Amino acid sequence: MEKRVALELRGRNPSQIKELNLDNCRSTNIIGLTDEYTNLEILSLNNVGLTTLKGFPTLPKLRKLELSDNRISNGLHFLNGCKKLTHLNLSGNKIKDLQTLKPLEEFESLRNLDLFNNDVTNIEDYRSKVFALHPSLKYLDGYDKDDREGEDSDAEEEDGEEMNGNNDSDEEDVDDEEDDEEISLSAVYNSNLEEESSASSLYAGSDVEEEEDDDVDDGELKAQDGEDNTHEESTRGKKRKHEDEEDN
């Protein structure tokens, strides 16, 4: 167990650890766990082979302890340094009587206790007696006093956090989509404006050219009219001169 604890630390300080999984590391007693784990909240020691809890450290923030499939038959008072414990799984151990559970009265926050597959569950009126012994309990072996199946509060909390995370992500996606739509609409609008502006410029250029052409045509017509008038006046003058000579 001591080597496994060192491995799980991965060079970190024990006070930084909030969750520690030591399942299946073989040991009959607690070795390597110390009071230095001041912020540890979840500890799992399933299928380790523990026969005693002697030497269990004081863990002031521990709230969930997994001890299933060991060989623990007594000594639950060694857990008294974990006053905030809310979940305790002792299924698959060697607990035979209610007296062994007496130390758990010290845990005022204990809400979920699992004793499945212990001999104590064969006692007459076992469930009602355990609930009476520990008034803070809400679930025993996964069911409440009315035999309604309980929910794992930790799972509910995690699901709630994930849902919030997904909602935030969805809101961000919606915002991004709205921004993209606004950008797209803006781009289309600007593009239309540019096309209209270009078209207007072309039309304006065409009008200017047409006006210039009209001005040129008018000028040519006037010039031609002037030449025709001059020629006509010259012809008339010659004709009058000739008539005057004949009369003389």
The answer to whether position 61 is within a domain reads: yes
The whole-number pLDDT of residue 77 equals 96
The answer to whether position 37 is within a domain reads: yes
The whole-number pLDDT of residue 242 equals 47
The whole-number pLDDT of residue 199 equals 47
pLDDT tops 80 at residue 54: yes
pTM of the model: 0.63
The answer to whether position 59 is within a domain reads: yes
- What DSSP assignment string belongs to the chain? -HHHHHHHHTT--GGG-SEEE-TT---SS--S--TT-TT--EEE-TTS--S--TTPPP-TT--EEE--SS---S-GGGGTT-TT--EEE-TTS---SGGGGGGGGG-TT--EEE-TTSGGGGSTTHHHHHHHH-TT-SEETTB-TTSPBP--HHHHHHHHHHHHHHHHHHHHHHHHHHHHHHHHHHHHHHHHHHHHHHHHHHHHHHHHHHHHHHHHHHHHHHHHHHHHHHHHHHHHHHHHHHHHHHH-
Task: Identify the CATH number of the domain in which residue 12 sits.
Answer: 3.80.10.10
For residues 144 and 203, the model is more confident at 144
Domain that holds residue 20: 2-150
Q: Whole-number mean pLDDT of the chain?
A: 77
For residues 205 and 102, the model is more confident at 102
The answer to whether position 53 is within a domain reads: yes
The answer to whether position 31 is within a domain reads: yes
Give how many domains the chain has, as a whole number. 1
User: 108 pLDDT band (50/70/90 cuts)?
Assistant: very high
The answer to whether position 110 is within a domain reads: yes
The answer to whether position 45 is within a domain reads: yes
Q: What integer is the mean pLDDT of 38-50? A: 97
The answer to whether position 238 is within a domain reads: no
The whole-number pLDDT of residue 150 equals 80
